[in-house]
Amino acid sequence: MIGQPYLIDVDWGDLVQAVITAVISFAVLLVSVMLMVWFERKVVSRLQNRIGPNQAGPFGLLQTLFDGTKLFFKEDLIPAEADRFVFKLAPYLALVPAFLMFTIIPVAGDFSNGHDGSVMVGGEKMFFQVIDPPVGILFFLAMSALGVYGIMLAGWSSGSKYPLIGSVRASAQVISYEAALGLALASVLLVTGTLSTNGIVQAQSGGFTSWALVTTGFVPFVIFVIAGTAELNRPPFDLVEAEQEIVGGFHTEYSSIRFALFFLAEFMNVVTMSAIFVTLFLGGPAPAWDFPWIDLPLPGALMGFIWFFGKLLIFLFMFVWFRATLPRLRYDQLMDLGWKVLIPLALGWLLVLAGIRVAQDNNIGLADTAFGDTLIILVIGLAGLAAGAGLLAAAIKNARNEASAVALPTSGIVGMED
């Protein structure tokens, strides 16, 4: 009797292809992180009227590599009070999701002459992304949520107070902004109609005006960029590692290569988040416009990569610019911005957008024409937004009144009443 020889039937061709893809993307990610760290240090230096790293390699390009190598030779300490297993596990939990998050990004593609971004390799249709699951965006959300565990467990297992405070701050901050992030993302899904990143890029391949940045009406983009910056714990939302208050935050107790892996994961997330911005709102590797007057002798896929890289640089520079320019928020300001501004705005905007699009392509019979329908829905939607904003303002005012009624005796000054 011949049974099933293996539980999973392995196709060796697929396996070899998978390993090659993984190795290439692994190398590309590591190099891009190395360059990103260099880029950040160089740009911040210039913005602060300094020179920045310029000794290691041409233009100091190898500085990150040297720093990383140095960390191998540093003593690796585990604090006496630490939970040793979790303490050692946490860097893995931070690093692995950071790698996996990048797999759904389409990094190049042939969009010339109405191509759909695919390239024929050896008679097989290929897309320039590691995996293209039909639930790509959910995969991204899952991985970005998993990354929090690394930070949370790192802080908790250190057995020290500053890392603990840092990690509790981090988890509260990240879940607060994840709601805003998810709601702003829903607007993109609304206009593109798919969860696959490849599909999202294809829906935006019709030039500048088809980008979700334009079709969702700019507001979700702004919300997404703010929430994305907060998700990354980048300045001005870097309360997680606010040096003046809590030393180094969750990685205070980490030294040597363990620290390096957290650092690596952090910068990899910066690159990935920028790529997510590009994919969701700027059409990924799809060109902003065609050049009918120039016939570049480049293969279409390479043009796709050039477009992608150019758009990516905008956001990478933006993150560095934020860091050099904006002062850090206070914790109450951070929470107020996330909960009382971004979340209600993203929700309201999504509903208005859905209403307008339903009115545009269905005969809902409020008016004689589709345009009339759209106008009526728009008026109702804006009235709803205004009512919601009014309600929210009243609630905030009420909370403030109640708090000041119970809080303090009126005689003294805060901090002086002994």
Partner 1 sequence: MSQYLPALALLILAALFAALSFVGSRLLAPRNPTVPKEAPYECGIIPGREPPQRFPVRFYLVAMIFIVFDIEIIFLYPYVLVYRELALAGLVAIAIFAALVFESFVYLISKGALDWGPPSTARQIDPSLVSAERTASTTIRKVGLEGRLPHNEVAA
Residue 219 has which token pair?
Answer: 């507001």
Does 84 bind partner 1 (CB under 8 A)? Our answer is no
What sign results for the dihedral spanned by CA atoms 206, 207, 209, 212? Answer: positive
Cβ-based burial of 273 (10 A; exposed 0-12, middle 13-18, buried ≥19)? buried
Alpha helices in 282-342 (DSSP H): 300-325, 331-336
Whose Cβ is closer to partner 1: residue 34's or residue 303's? 34
Q: Which of 28, 77, 288, 326 binds partner 1 (CB under 8 A)?
A: 77
Beta carbon of residue 175, minimum distance to partner 1 (angstroms, whole number): 4
How many residues of this chain bind partner 1 (CB under 8 A)? Answer: 107
What is the C-alpha radius of gyration for the chain, rounded to an integer number of angstroms? 25
Q: Which of 28, 46, 50, 74 binds partner 1 (CB under 8 A)?
A: 74
d(CA 77, CA 152) in angstroms, rounded, equals 19
Residues 276-295 that bind partner 1 (CB under 8 A): none
| Beta carbons within 10 angstroms of residue 30's beta carbon | 15
Does 161 bind partner 1 (CB under 8 A)? Our answer is yes
Residues 178-197 that bind partner 1 (CB under 8 A): 178-179, 182-183, 186-187, 189-190, 193-195
Q: Which of 99, 281, 307, 319 binds partner 1 (CB under 8 A)?
A: 99
By rule CB under 8 A, what string of x and - marks binding of each residue 334-373 to partner 1?
-xx--xx--xx--x--xx--xx-xx--xx-x---------
Query: With contact defined as beta carbons under 8 Å apart, do 181 and 227 qualify?
Result: yes
Whose Cβ is closer to partner 1: residue 23's or residue 382's? 23
Whose Cβ is closer to partner 1: residue 58's or residue 193's? 193
Residue linked to tokens 């011949």: 2
H or E element: which one contains 126? strand 124-126
N-terminal to C-terminal alpha carbon distance within the chain: 88
Choices 32-40, 173-181, 228-236, 285-293; region in contact with partner 1 by CB under 8 A: 173-181
Residues 239-268 that bind partner 1 (CB under 8 A): 247, 252-253, 256-258, 260-261
